[in-house]
Every structure is written in C-alpha cells, then in structure tokens.
C-alpha cells in the first residue's frame, strides 16, 4: 500500500503518531532525522514551517535497502500501543490524505525506515511550496537498535559509501 501527500510542518517536525499520542519527553533525537518515542516517532525536517512531500508504504517484511536518490536513510523501531500509526502534522493533526493506518498488525512493534532529501534546501526557513521529500516504509518487526543506512555526508561524498 502506498500513499503520497503534503504534510504541514511546524517547528521542524511532523509525526508518525499512534492514535495522536505525543510523548515528547521520551523522544530520542540522537540521529537528527527520526526520533522514536515510547509511542510513535517524530520526523525532523530541514524547514521550520511549511509543507513537505511524504509518501508512505506499508509492507509485510523488511524491504531491500534502496538508498539511491536519497540523502539520508535511517531505520528505527517504533511502538504502536494503540495500533493506529498515522502521519500527522503536529499542528493540524492527522494528514487528511493519509486515511490508512501504518500499523496493520494492530498494537505491536514496527520498523520505520525514513528516507529524506532536500533537508538542507531551506534550513530553518518557511516554505509553503514543498522543497523536501520523505519516504516512510513501515513493517512489523521486533524492537532493535537504530540503523543508519545513509547519511547526508555519504550522499554528497561517494568516497564515504
């Protein structure tokens, strides 16, 4: 299942939230792209305020890693205690175009792979027209450590790959 939308960002964040639950105090911002919480995760954007393009895919198992065309790709484990993971604007709520749940197995642990490009285009600026793209792939999986598949340094320096 795939779904592409524009999501409103405020304060440099949007969420993959479980039934709207925001547990900011539990967020792990250490990889600077995706911050898992006790429930769901924040996605950290380059822009401060505006819209970003987001595509979501739900799969039944870990897909092959395809980092081509993406500046950053990071996987984290996210928990969905309510079993209702959805892309959400932290200011406007659930994305109107994202009607499907990203947690088809219900309450469980999932793996979230976040692909990003364009985060440096308008760093900390406002952009009503999207200048950043995100691909979020989710599948059921037991919790494990974060995996960095590609960093922006690798995307701009082939010798680091």
Domains of the chain (ranges; CATH) run 2-160 (2.60.34.30)
Show the 3-state SS of the chain. Answer: CEEEEEEEEECCEEEEEECCECCHHHCCCCCCCEEECCCCEEEECCCCEEEEEEEEEECCCCCCCCCCCCCEEEEEEEEECCCCEEEEECCCEECCCCCCCCCCCCCEEEEEEEEEECCCCCCCCEECCCCCEEEEEEEECCCCCCEEEECHHHHHCHHHC
Query: What is the pTM for the complete model shown?
Result: 0.90
pLDDT at 157: 42
In this prediction, residues 145-159 reach a mean pLDDT of: 72
- Span 22-60, pLDDT tens digits: 989 999 999 999 999 999 999 999 999 999 999 999 999
Residue 1 has pLDDT above 80, yes or no: no
How far, in whole angstroms, is CA 3 from its chain's centroid?
13
Return all residues near 94 (Cβ < 8 A) that are at least 6 apart.
20, 86, 87, 88
Q: Which of 104, 112, 101 is nearest to 135 (CA)?
A: 112
């Amino acid at each position: 299942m795939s779904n592409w939308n524009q999501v409103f960002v405020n304060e440099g964040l949007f969420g993959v939230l479980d039934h709207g639950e925001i547990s900011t105090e539990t967020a792990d911002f250490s990889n600077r792209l995706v911050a898992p919480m006790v429930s769901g995760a924040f996605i950290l954007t380059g822009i401060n305020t505006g819209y970003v393009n987001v595509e979501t895919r739900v799969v039944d198992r870990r897909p092959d890693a395809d980092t081509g065309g993406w500046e950053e790709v990071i996987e984290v484990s996210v928990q969905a205690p309510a079993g209702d993971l959805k892309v959400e604007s932290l200011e406007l709520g659930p994305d109107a175009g994202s009607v499907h749940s990203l947690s088809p197995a219900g309450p469980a642990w999932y793996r979230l792979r976040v692909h990003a490009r364009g985060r440096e285009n308008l760093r900390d600026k406002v952009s009503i027209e999207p200048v950043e793209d995100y691909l979020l792939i989710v599948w059921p999986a037991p919790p494990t450590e974060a995996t960095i598949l590609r960093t922006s340094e690798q995307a701009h320096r082939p010798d680091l790959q």
